[in-house]
Structure 1
Amino acid sequence: MKKDNIIQIKSYDFAVKIVNLYQYLSRERKEFVLSKQLLRSGTSIGANIEEAIGGQSRKDFYSKLTISYKEARETHYWLRLLRDTDYLSQKESDLLLDDIEEILKIIGSIQKTIRNS
């Protein structure tokens, strides 16, 4: 992993947090449905960024990046839902929501740069 690829680093670190949250929700809170959805979308962000980096063309890169953005939007939804159904506290969700909003801004900025070049 390149040291200066901020979205690669942030999406990986976020995925680790999501895996840990999934383990907590399933073990401690006995929540299996929403947490599984969160696990899928939250780890897919970084996986698609990795695929984008290895893309065969600019179009392929942009396509995978777009999938990452959609997965990040979905993750944002599941985090809010878990908070609003009291599976996560406001404090727990705020930290993760801040992270995902930052990831969304970075991906959106990359997409904009690609579209405008």
Structure 2
Amino acid sequence: MQDFRKLLVWRSAHELAVMAIRHTARVPRGNAELISQLRRSTASIGANIAEGAQRNTPAQFAQFLGIALASLAESHNHLLLLRDARLMSREHSDEMLAIVDRLRLMLLNLQLRVRANAAKSPGHRAEYKHPPRTTLIPEP
């Protein structure tokens, strides 16, 4: 377990969540649901990093980093939608999208390092990997 506030990746996630709150304060009211989704998804990134950092094993931490990555992808989607619908200024959206790109790399790198540590930890059991699913699409 570690203090999540010392993690640079958590600080970047926190910065993104604060920006989401500040930069969406002036978005027209008819878009409250989209704004709410963006705020929740950005807050979820840091929350999952924090929760994972408090878990007992590196494997559990890596799992929460994966959830944070999923929340980051959701946030990315919402930001693109707000930008393309011109509900957020280009300046604010570009600033936030740059943080999204940087944060994705930070999360992926940390997840790789944590997984490597999990594989080295005593008592580690190899996880079963399900074979990839294939979906057959009928040809026209």
Superposition TM-score tier, normalisation by shorter sequence: 0.7 to 0.9
The structure with the largest helix share of the pair is 1
Report the more deviating stretch, 31-40 or 71-80. Answer: 31-40
> How much has 1:3 moved relative to structure 2?
7.0
What secondary structure is seen at the aligned counterpart in 1 of 2:47? helix
Offset, 1:114 = 2.9
Q: Is structure 2 residue 8 aligned with structure 1 residue 6? A: yes
CA distance in 2, matches of 1:2, 1:51: 8
CA contact (8 A) 1:22 1:36 kept: no
Query: Unaligned regions of 5+ residues in structure 1, if any?
Result: none
TM-score (norm. length: structure 2): 0.74
Is the 8 Å Cα contact of residues 14 and 99 (structure 1) preserved in structure 2? yes
Identity of aligned residues (%): 26
Paired residue type of 1:60: Q
Residue number in structure 2 paired with 1:58: 58
Counterpart residue type for residue 12 of structure 1: H
User: Which of these two proteins has the greater Rg computed from alpha carbons?
Assistant: 2
State the 1:44 CA deviation.
Answer: 0.4
State the match for 2:72 in structure 1: 72
**How many residues are matched?**
114
RMSD: 1.7
Gaps of 5+ in 2: 118-140
Letter in 1 for 2:22: N
Instruction: List per-residue Cα deviations over 1:23-72 (Å, max 9, x = no partner).
Output: 332xxx21202111101101100000100111121121011110001100
Residue number in structure 1 paired with 2:46: 46
Q: Which residue of 1 aligns with 2:17?
A: 15
